[in-house]
Structure formats: C-alpha cells, structure tokens
Amino acid sequence: MTAMQRSTPSSSRRRSEEGFTLLEMIVVVAMIGILASMIMPSLRPAPQRAKEAVLKTNLLAIRQSLDQFYSDKGHYPSTLEEMVDEHYLRRVPVDPFTKSTDTWELIYEEVDDDFAPAETDLPEDGAPGIFDVRSGADGTAANGTPYSEW
C-alpha cells in the first residue's frame, strides 16, 4: 500500500500541471477583449479610406488616359466610352462611392467662339471633348474636401 500512497500525490500533481486553471483562462480572455476594444476604433474608418484610395486611383487612370488620348489624337474624347473603344481604357472605371460608371462628372474643354481652333483641337463632329473628370459622389472625404472636387 505504500506504493499506492506514493503514486497518488505525484499523479495529482501532474494533473494540475497539465492545463490552465479557469482563472488563468478568464484573465487571458479579458486581456484579449481589452486589446480588441483598443484596436476597433482605428479600424472603423478603414472601408471609407479604402474607397477613397480606389477613387483617387480611378481618377488618376482616367486623367492619364485623357492626356494620352489628347497627345495621340490632338483632341479630347467626346465620351468615356470612346476611350474604351480606342483602347485607352479597358473599361470605364466604377466610382466606388456610387458603385456606377455613369455618375462621373465630365468636364468639357471650353471653346472660345471668337477664336477658331485648329482642326486637330476638336473631334470630327466639332464638339468639345472631355477635359477632366470628377466624382459624382455626395459626401466629404476624411480630410474634409468634397468628393466632387477631387
């Protein structure tokens, strides 16, 4: 029996060293909760910042394509679809806030009626082309500027 008495305390000691106590688990879960509550406020505006980054990228792509079109053709395109047809864009980019390709605000070049521009300054139909493009989205960015001014 003395052998059994010796094995009993050592086996109970091993059992207590194998896992975590309930108190240790509660402390760890509380620490994870505190860390998560500190991180969550900084993650809340992340989707808006991501949309703003996509909007800036799309506007840059359109504007660079407009400049390249003008450089190659000598006039600005009359529609964004013309840039797609001429392979300056694969497709008209989507405005990430309106989720549409039709809400871009197109800014056409100004043509002075007193000054007759050269034939290469206007497309074949004589109408002014798209000089710039802006977002048609309502709202303001994180920096306080309206999206329609980008």
DSSP string covering 30-99? HHHHHHHHHHHHHHTTHHHHHHHHHHHHHHHHHHHHHHHHHHHHSS--SSHHHHHHTTSSSSPPPBTTTT
CA distance 118 to 115: 9
Indicate whether 7 belongs to any domain: no
- The structural domain count of the chain equals 1
Q: For residue 80, which of 49, 58, 56 has the smallest C-alpha distance?
A: 58
Whole-model pTM above 0.85?
no
Q: Hey, which residues does 95 pair with through a beta bridge? A: 100
Indicate whether 52 belongs to any domain: yes
Enclosing domain of residue 64: 46-149
**Confidence at residue 30, expressed as pLDDT on a 0 to 100 scale:** 96
Indicate whether 22 belongs to any domain: no
**pLDDT tens, N- to C-terminus, the chain (150 residues):** 555 555 555 555 555 567 889 999 999 999 999 999 998 888 888 899 999 999 999 999 999 999 999 999 999 999 999 999 999 999 999 999 999 999 999 999 886 655 555 544 555 666 789 999 999 999 899 889 999 898
Indicate whether 4 belongs to any domain: no
Indicate whether 78 belongs to any domain: yes
